[in-house]
Structure 1
Amino acid sequence: MKLEIERIEKAAEVLKGITRETKLIYSPVFSTESGNEIYLKPENLQLTGAFKIRGAYFKISCLTGEEKKRGLIASSAGNHAQGVALAAQMQGVRSTIVMPKTTPLIKVEATKNFGARVILEGDCYDDAYQEARRLEKKEDLVFIHPFDDYDVMAGQGTIGLEILDDLEDVHSIIVPIGGGGLISGIAAAVKARRPDVRIIGVEPDGARAMTDSIFKNKIQTLHKVDTIADGVAVKTPGSRPFSVIKDLVDEIITVSDAELMESFLLLLERHKLIAENSGVLSLAALHKLKVRGEKIVPVISGGNIDVVTISSMIDRGLVKRGRIFCFSAEMPDEPGQLLKISEILADENANIIKLDHNQFKTLDRFKQVLLEVTVETNGHEHVRKIIKALEKGGYSIERVY
């Protein structure tokens, strides 16, 4: 069995009126930063906040009446869980979802709200998967795989058809990779109609299972995954997606967690759109493209992220883009020293947001005091000017972040 374009076209028909057709959004800021014309595919605006509803709904629609009566079970780090739960609810089918204990609370609660029975098991997707498979046999349930299933892949592939409808002269499409279901579906759809369009996958440095598998031409299992992108923290990619990816995907790029934070901040600040960590993989990859002047569509795969994580991502993104600068300096414990540093910072238009003046942090607390200052800045060049001005004023600066 293969992933034929006819199956994807059938999925598109089934999903009409069920899922949102997320129209492309032109991005001036990402276009300027990458040197290409960038059009965002905002699947973070999809029902349940991610693309997963597409594959889940189509898969369930293909089940027999007897299979639906038995009930469904799935394993997921979050977005597939919500997709299956909502799709099952819409089609009147019982669902059980096994999720890792590390899954953000917002995803757990959302899945329960769609009527699913939720079971928390293990520390990563693969642990939840094993438990779901055990319950599948014990309770005679029908397992809905998040990526290693042709019907699921076909449902995700409808994204590719929509992109081609919206932007006929697209040159490249960039897609996050976890287990591989999303990119394999998109690649199959796009290459069937436009084989010249480049399909580029993106993985985190700490979860590059598909990259390793393609390099060794055999499915690889990572010993561990280490990334903030929990939605793609998969140790073993799917065999069906692997077979499609090695034939149809042109390139796979890896990005760091720091690059994800920077892209998250830029998307939030300039487009007022919120994406989860795995959802901005395609945006982080824009900096690593070698082409210029092309029309490129990065798929923002999901937007399910909790408020605490949002706050942390903003803070780290500000640091990565040189918008927050923290430094320490030892200075004589004499009147006027604090004023002198404040004047230097004011002259350089650096806004002080935190200051710690502590004589107990130095070796000689009777003569020296340690000053730690956090300032709001306008980018890396601004930070360099501030450091130069402080050093010119006679201060030895140690950068904290």
Structure 2
Amino acid sequence: MAVTFKDIENARTVLAGNVVRTPLIRADKLSDITGADIYVKFENLQVTSSFKDRGAYNKMSSLTDAERARGVIAMSAGNHAQAVAYHAKRLGIPATIVMPETTPSTKVERTRAHGAHVILSGETLAESQVTAETLVKDKGYLLIHPYDDDKVIAGQGTIAIEMLEDQPDLDVMVVPIGGGGIIGGTAIAAKHIKPDVEMLGVEVKLYPSMYHALRGQPAKCGGSTLAEGIAVKNVTERTITIAKQYVDDVRLVGESDIERAVMAYLTHQKTLAEGAGAAGLAAVFADPGHFRGRKVGLILCGGNIDPRILASIILRELEREHRIVNLRIQIDDRPGVLGRIATLLGQLGANILEVSHRRMFLDVPAKGAELEIMVETRDGPHADEIVARIEAEGFSTRVLDAPGGRETVRRG
């Protein structure tokens, strides 16, 4: 049975008062950066910090008493898990969640905190699904699928109704794609309300399952991605059929685009976005010309990011912007040289973060030493000024580009 706009309207009635009607806010700084008129739907403000609350509640609230007594099971990389666990507890339904072993610890802990029994199984969501289906057969649980379910898709579609109520003249909506539930529901609703709105889906390059499915091609998926929430190998006939009818195109984004988008949400919007949640903005960054001058609706679909990963992203972006620079400097091994360089850096307004002083490498002269200094700068031009001044003092300098692994050799 295909999902209809009426199903999505019914879901909206069910969800009223049970999930958060999140705000759609114009992102002034992101608009300035991209040249587009950016509006962000903050689904990271749901109780479980993702849009999954909508589909999970819409599905589980429809269960009969007999189905609730059986208990439910779900497989998820984190956000669907938390949503099922949270709303199952509210509705008095026993819940078991199967999660990939690679799921960030913050998502596992939060799922357990909602009272669900968590099983870690498999490296990928597809492997977790095998475990969940086995438990359905052995234990009689009712499977709450994260995307291959009409009630779930209808629940996610309510996002588009709210967005177009708040901003009726959106030109394009950019929606992350994992299994295709959120793009399916929002596309059905958006095209019903405003047929000329452009619906763009976004996948990561490592998991282009829907991208290739729409082109009738086999998809090669795999690898470690920051956007684990949309790292789905297997889209289904249900979601493919909807996408073929309602989705205009699917874009692929790289890991660096996602990292930049996570950082942009943090620094410019003062909000947390996980990798999957930032995929829409990553697509705008990857192809700004397509969006320039248009009203663009982005769904920040989740904010459950591991603090350690977030810290790594912040550091990597500061290095990309040359606000943190790693210098490798060859010096004479004699008293006062290190102090001379440290004084120079202080005079130039650079903040020294780390220093490593090495002598016992064969590529370093016997009477020499090598300094590795990590410094904090104001921006790229400031970093260039610092390097130029060190070179002017006669020191051979290498600027290490940590994210890309490159070295730029400069001779003093």
TM-score category, normalised to shorter length: over 0.9
How far, CA to CA, are the matches of 1:210 and 1:301 in structure 2?
18
CA displacement at 1:394 relative to structure 2 = 3.3
CA displacement at 1:152 relative to structure 2 = 0.7
Q: State the match for 2:405 in structure 1.
A: none
Of 353-362 and 179-188, the range deviating more from structure 2: 353-362
CA displacement at 1:375 relative to structure 2 = 1.2
Q: State the match for 1:164 in structure 2.
A: 164
How far, CA to CA, are the matches of 2:26 and 2:102 in structure 1?
35
Q: State the match for 2:220 in structure 1.
A: 222
Q: State the match for 2:260 in structure 1.
A: 262
CA displacement at 1:399 relative to structure 2 = 2.5
Dislocated runs of 4+, deviation >6 Å: none
Is the contact made by 2:55 and 2:151 (CA closer than 8 Å) also made in structure 1?
yes
Q: Percent identity among equivalent residues? A: 39
TM-aligned CA distance change 1:390 to 1:259, over 3 Å: farther
CA displacement at 1:377 relative to structure 2 = 2.3
How far, CA to CA, are the matches of 1:169 and 1:283 in structure 2?
19
CA displacement at 1:374 relative to structure 2 = 0.8
Is the contact made by 1:225 and 1:234 (CA closer than 8 Å) also made in structure 2?
no
CA displacement at 1:225 relative to structure 2 = 3.4
Q: State the match for 1:353 in structure 2.
A: 353
How far, CA to CA, are the matches of 2:72 and 2:157 in structure 1?
22
Superposed CA RMSD in Å reads: 1.9
- Does residue 304 (structure 1) correspond to residue 304 (structure 2)? The answer is yes
Aligned counterparts, 1:196-275, within 5 A:
196-215=196-215, 217=216, 220-275=218-273
- Does residue 149 (structure 1) correspond to residue 149 (structure 2)? The answer is yes
Is the contact made by 2:30 and 2:268 (CA closer than 8 Å) also made in structure 1?
no
Aligned counterparts, 1:186-197, within 5 A:
186-197=186-197
TM-aligned CA distance change 1:353 to 1:44, over 3 Å: same
> Which one-letter code corresponds to 2:62 in the other structure?
C
Size of the aligned set, in residue pairs, is 399
CA displacement at 1:133 relative to structure 2 = 0.6
Local SS of the residue matching 2:369? strand
Aligned counterparts, 1:269-288, within 5 A:
269-287=267-285, 288=287
> Which one-letter code corresponds to 1:274 in the other structure?
L
How far, CA to CA, are the matches of 1:235 and 1:144 in structure 2?
18
- Does residue 112 (structure 1) correspond to residue 108 (structure 2)? The answer is no
Local SS of the residue matching 1:360? coil
How far, CA to CA, are the matches of 1:399 and 1:245 in structure 2?
47
How far, CA to CA, are the matches of 2:143 and 2:343 in structure 1?
65
How far, CA to CA, are the matches of 2:150 and 2:274 in structure 1?
26
CA displacement at 1:182 relative to structure 2 = 1.0
How far, CA to CA, are the matches of 2:398 and 2:200 in structure 1?
40
* Unmatched runs of 5 consecutive residues or more in structure 2: 403-412
How far, CA to CA, are the matches of 2:316 and 2:345 in structure 1?
22
TM-aligned CA distance change 1:127 to 1:170, over 3 Å: same
TM-aligned CA distance change 1:331 to 1:182, over 3 Å: same
Q: State the match for 1:84 in structure 2.
A: 84
How far, CA to CA, are the matches of 1:238 and 1:317 in structure 2?
36
Local SS of the residue matching 1:304? coil
* Unmatched runs of 5 consecutive residues or more in structure 1: none
How far, CA to CA, are the matches of 1:90 and 1:188 in structure 2?
29
Local SS of the residue matching 2:122? coil
1:131-159 Cα distance to aligned partner (Å, 9 max, x none): 00111111112111101112111101111
Q: State the match for 1:337 in structure 2.
A: 337
TM-aligned CA distance change 1:286 to 1:332, over 3 Å: same
Of 104-113 and 380-389, the range deviating more from structure 2: 380-389
Local SS of the residue matching 1:74? strand
CA displacement at 1:362 relative to structure 2 = 5.0
Q: State the match for 2:174 in structure 1.
A: 174
Q: State the match for 2:66 in structure 1.
A: 66
TM-aligned CA distance change 1:153 to 1:351, over 3 Å: same
Q: State the match for 1:386 in structure 2.
A: 386
Q: State the match for 1:57 in structure 2.
A: 57
CA displacement at 1:208 relative to structure 2 = 1.7
1:142-184 Cα distance to aligned partner (Å, 9 max, x none): 1111011121111011111110011111111111111111111
TM-aligned CA distance change 1:394 to 1:240, over 3 Å: farther
> Which one-letter code corresponds to 1:369 in the other structure?
A
1:337-359 Cα distance to aligned partner (Å, 9 max, x none): 33453455445433222222222
Normalised by the size of structure 1, how large is the TM-score? 0.93
Local SS of the residue matching 1:127? helix
Local SS of the residue matching 1:327? strand
How far, CA to CA, are the matches of 1:54 and 1:107 in structure 2?
18
Q: State the match for 1:25 in structure 2.
A: 25
